[in-house]
């Protein structure tokens, strides 16, 4: 037994070599993923450009990457028909962030409150199901009529889009909290409020943060749809204007701008999630 244990023991140099090999493989996989992503992007854009150039698809309806780049460049250098491009981005981003924050806070509070109160959950569950079954995008027209063409109608639609996503995850996260930990906290004399803040909310935090990635996209959709239905500025108005002018390049260019905004927001949310969930093991 002693001989087997001694033969299996590794020296510090061997351990360091194993760690270096593991780090090398991690870096290789990282660059492999980056290379494959770039290759797929080149194939898609190259095939799109080639198909439009060879008239396999009609560029009038589907545009082509080179025309989209020219459109974005023109918007950056000369501005849009509604004003500078950055103003349109900031208007849409402001509406999105306000709707995201209000909807997220309301969804978290409602989800935790109903998740911790069985009576309230039973009473309001039917009404929540009814409200959640309504196509929320349709409410944009009502908000535009009631609140006008300003920011309020777009924020309201973004709030509605976000609320049910965050509420559902917060509610489920509270229901999935470890019952043994709750019981132990109660045995130790913790009050209901202390159990909620010290046990239930931390347990539901991963559920809540997971919903924020999706809900920001819904907030962006709500803001853009609201602008599309009626507004004075914003990326949604750019899309509507380009559509009215049969400018496919403008529609795709606005979509790319939206995608960049969404990716930046997702990066920030991922960074926040990593800071708040440091205890969670890294995914492999």
pLDDT 10s digits, 57-80? 988 889 999 999 999 999 999 888
CB 170 within 8 A of CB 108: yes
pTM: 0.81
d(CA 125, CA 121): 6
Q: Which of 180, 197, 190 is nearest to 108 (CA)?
A: 197
Which of left, alpha, beta for 148 (phi over 0: left; psi -120 to 50: alpha)? left
Residues near 185 by beta carbon (within 8 Å), at least 6 away in sequence: 194, 195, 198, 199
Res. 92 pLDDT band, cuts 50 70 90: very high
Do residues 200 and 170 touch, judged by C-beta distance below 8 A? no
Look at residue 228 and tell me whether its pLDDT is greater than 60. Answer: yes
Residue 7 scores a pLDDT above 50: no
pLDDT at 99: 94
């Amino acid at each position: 037994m002693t001989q087997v244990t001694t033969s299996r023991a590794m020296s510090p140099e061997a351990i360091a070599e194993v760690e270096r090999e593991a780090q090398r493989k991690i870096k290789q996989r990282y660059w492999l993923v980056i290379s494959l992503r770039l290759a797929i992007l080149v194939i898609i854009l190259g095939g799109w450009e080639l198909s439009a150039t060879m008239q396999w698809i009609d560029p009038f309806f589907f545009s082509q990457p080179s025309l989209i780049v020219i459109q974005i460049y023109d918007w950056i250098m000369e501005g849009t028909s509604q004003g500078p491009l950055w103003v349109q981005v900031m208007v849409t981003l402001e509406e999105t962030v306000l709707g995201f924050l209000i909807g997220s806070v309301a969804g978290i509070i409602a989800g935790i409150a109903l998740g911790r109160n069985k009576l309230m959950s039973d009473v309001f569950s039917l009404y929540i199901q009814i409200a959640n079954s309504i196509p929320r995008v349709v409410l944009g027209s009502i908000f535009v009529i009631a609140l006008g063409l300003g920011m309020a109608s777009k924020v309201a639609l973004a709030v509605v889009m976000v609320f049910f996503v965050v509420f559902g995850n917060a509610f489920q996260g509270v229901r999935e909290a470890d019952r043994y930990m709750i019981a132990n906290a109660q045995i130790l004399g913790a009050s209901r409020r202390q159990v909620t803040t010290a046990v239930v909310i931390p347990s539901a935090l991963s559920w809540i943060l997971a919903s924020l990635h999706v809900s920001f996209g819904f907030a962006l959709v709500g803001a853009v749809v609201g602008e599309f239905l009626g507004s004075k500025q914003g990326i949604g108005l750019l899309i509507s204007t380009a559509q009215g002018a049969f400018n496919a390049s403008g529609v795709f260019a606005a979509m790319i701008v939206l995608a960049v905004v969404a990716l930046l927001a997702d990066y920030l949310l991922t960074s926040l999630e990593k800071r708040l969930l440091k205890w969670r093991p890294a995914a492999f």
